[in-house]
């Protein structure tokens, strides 16, 4: 393959990666804003999170189109093909995180009509911040091709799981204490589960980086808290 074709592939790949970075930045902001809207009962901010999900979806579509064009026109082989496919997989994970943020925005608006459950919105915000930091580092590891940073992100998913488990136990306690807490606690539980799923997708991005750098997926089991409650959301 000529130097001219190689440089053209590199330019095209860099352009697609720039879109991934833009999408990642938007999704990180969505995570923090949906948690802030919940804690401050900001209906306008919650609606803004819901509305901005369209921009996240549009970026994923653009990335998929550009990556497909890159593969078709440049016919990359081996490692170059792996890099081209990685942007599609990473953008898919980012799109799912964006969906979870949108869902949190919806449930936050519903919760504004219910009495506040003491302490839980702040705990959810801390969980969201930990997850946003995981996603930021996962994307940084991708741009820097840093497998060690990606492994660190993968290990930190356990912390998010543990935060979710603690919240789940709190919700059960509140619901047992007062039946009027059942509805708001169920919404809060699904919000916490959405954030736990965000951490899973940040971990998936980190694993994609490890594969991109080393050529192999991690062969050890992903660290998970054994008491994580599996719930479809």
Q: What is the DSSP string of 100-122?
A: HHHHHHHHHHHHTTS---TTHHH
Q: Residue 125 belongs to what domain range? A: 3-214
205 occurs within a structural domain: yes
81 occurs within a structural domain: yes
Number of structural domains, the chain?
A: 1
Q: When comparing pLDDT for 113 and 129, which is higher?
A: 129
131 occurs within a structural domain: yes
Mean pLDDT over each residue of the chain, to the nearest integer: 91
225 occurs within a structural domain: no
220 occurs within a structural domain: no
Residue 179 — very low, low, confident or very high, per pLDDT cuts 50/70/90?
Answer: very high
Residue 124 — very low, low, confident or very high, per pLDDT cuts 50/70/90?
Answer: very high
Report how far apart, in Å, the C-alpha atoms of 35 and of each of 40, 125, 176 are. 9, 5, 25
Q: What is the CATH number of the domain that holds 139?
A: 1.20.58.220
226 occurs within a structural domain: no
206 occurs within a structural domain: yes
Q: Which H helix or E strand runs over 41?
A: none
Q: Given this model, what pLDDT does residue 1 score? A: 45
Report how far apart, in Å, the C-alpha atoms of 12 and of each of 47, 83, 93, 121, 143 are. 35, 12, 21, 43, 15
C-alpha to C-alpha distance for 206 and 9, rounded to whole angstroms: 24
Check whether 30 has a pLDDT greater than 50: yes
Query: Which tokens belong to 224?
Result: 């998970």
223 occurs within a structural domain: no
């Amino acid at each position: 393959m000529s130097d001219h074709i190689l440089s053209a592939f590199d330019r095209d790949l860099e352009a697609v990666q720039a879109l991934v970075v833009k999408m990642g930045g938007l999704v990180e902001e969505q995570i923090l804003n949906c948690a802030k809207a919940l804690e401050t009962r900001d209906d306008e901010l919650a609606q803004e999170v819901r509305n901005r999900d369209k921009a996240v979806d549009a970026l994923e579509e653009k990335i998929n189109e550009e990556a497909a064009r890159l593969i078709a026109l440049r016919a990359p082989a081996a490692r170059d093909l792996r890099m081209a496919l990685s942007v599609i997989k990473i953008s898919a994970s980012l799109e799912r995180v964006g969906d979870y943020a949108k869902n949190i925005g919806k449930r936050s608006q519903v919760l504004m009509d219910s009495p506040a459950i003491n302490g839980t919105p702040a705990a959810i915000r801390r969980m969201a911040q930990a997850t946003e930091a995981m996603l930021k580092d996962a994307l940084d590891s991708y741009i820097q091709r840093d497998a060690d940073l990606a492994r660190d992100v993968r290990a930190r998913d356990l912390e998010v799981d543990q935060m979710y488990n603690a919240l789940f136990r709190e919700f059960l306690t509140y619901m047992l204490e007062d039946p009027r807490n059942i509805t708001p606690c169920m919404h809060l539980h699904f919000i916490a589960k959405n954030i736990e799923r965000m951490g899973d997708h940040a971990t998936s991005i980190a694993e994609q980086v490890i594969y991109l750098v080393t050529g192999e997926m991690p062969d050890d089991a992903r660290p998970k808290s054994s008491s994580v409650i599996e719930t479809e959301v």
